Amino acid sequence: MMDKTEILFVRACKSRQPLRRVDRVYKSYYYNNNNGEVDTLHIISVLLRIVEKYNLMSLRTLAADMNPNQAWKFVDEGSSYNEQLKAVLISTIRLTNVSDLPGYPLPARYRKNNC
């Protein structure tokens, strides 16, 4: 069963601006440092926990996506390793079917039509 913070992070990953929205969810539920910057490593650990818990990505796929030659798919040139990893994890969650996430609630408009 998904907890509420996992649901919020999944929704953030599936939004129109996932990188910005994930940072905003993180800031509202976790501590941000004194400069107002988010802790990318902690966001990575939260996203990685979701990916591992629901078996959304294999290690082979992760290694292939983290290849520097594949970075253009996820981040701009010159981005850090952590930013690339965060973008890969967000992309994986974003492209996952909701049916593969047990415990993810359906939006109210779909629940209403199914009754």
Provide the domain count of the chain: 1
Domain range for 11 is 4-102
Residue 112 lies in a domain: no
Q: Is the pLDDT of residue 14 over 70?
A: yes
Residue 27: inside a domain: yes
19 or 32, which is more confident: 19
Instruction: Note the pTM of the prediction, 2 decimals.
Output: 0.87
Residue % of the chain over a pLDDT of 70: 90
CA dihedral 10, 11, 17, 22 (to 10 degrees): -50
Whether residue 8 lies inside any domain: the answer is: yes
Take residue 35 and report the two structure tokens written for it.
Answer: 């400069």
Q: Is residue 108 part of a domain?
A: no
pLDDT in tens, 54-81: 999 999 999 999 998 888 889 988 889 9
Are 51 and 57 in contact by the 8 Å Cβ rule? The answer is: yes
